[in-house]
């Protein structure tokens, strides 16, 4: 009798767990597919413009917070307001990873907003700077908000400014 319950338990765990895991992985991976190429002349001209925001806005921070008192409709409205905007935010580094020829700078969740800043390093100096960033160091990311992933703001294309 115990064997039947064990088998049923594992069938339920696998039957529910695998689809949920698959959905989560799909959501995370799909959020990175809309990142721009980052190297075109038009992109560079866009990044050379004046940013709309130089510090993370409170309403966006609230919309991305787990404990937000906003409804989903209100959160979507706030997030849509900032999508496509050029921003330049200085936040503490959490991690730096490499994705092909691009680097993804992830900022600390201790900051008002956390970001994934996808940077194309085109010079040896830029590559060296990205590869020597340490956790906790402040970094200024300038780029376009393309979306949101699990409470993080996706910024791409982007450059690191001084």
Mean pLDDT across 120-135: 89
Whether the predicted pLDDT of 33 surpasses 80: no
pTM beyond 0.85: the answer is no
CATH assignment of 41-161, among 3.90.870.20, 1.10.3470.10, 3.30.420.10, 2.40.50.140 = 2.40.50.140
- In a 13 Å sphere around the CA of 19, the CA atoms on its Cβ side amount to 5
Whether the predicted pLDDT of 105 surpasses 90: yes
Distance CA 123, CA 57 (A): 32
Q: What are the residue ranges spanned by the domains of the chain?
A: 1-30, 41-161
Mean pLDDT across 15-34: 71
3-class secondary structure, 48: coil
- Predicted confidence at residue 36, as pLDDT, reads 40
Whether the predicted pLDDT of 31 surpasses 70: no
The pLDDT confidence band at residue 5, using thresholds 50, 70 and 90, is confident
């Amino acid at each position: 009798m115990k064997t039947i319950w064990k088998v049923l338990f594992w069938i339920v765990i696998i039957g529910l767990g695998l689809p949920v895991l698959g959905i989560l992985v799909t959501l995370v991976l799909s959020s990175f597919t809309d990142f721009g190429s980052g190297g075109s002349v038009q992109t560079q001209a866009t990044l050379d413009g004046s940013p709309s925001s130089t510090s993370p806005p409170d309403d966006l921070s609230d919309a991305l917070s787990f404990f937000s008192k906003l409804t989903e409709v209100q959160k979507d409205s706030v997030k849509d307001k900032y999508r496509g905007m050029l921003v330049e935010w200085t936040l503490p580094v959490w991690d730096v990873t490499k994705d092909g020829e691009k680097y993804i700078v992830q900022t600390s969740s201790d900051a008002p907003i956390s970001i994934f800043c996808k940077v194309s390093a085109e010079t040896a100096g830029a590559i060296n700077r990205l590869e020597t960033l340490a956790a906790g160091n402040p970094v200024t990311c300038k780029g376009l908000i393309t979306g949101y992933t699990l409470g993080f703001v996706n910024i791409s294309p982007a450059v690191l400014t001084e």
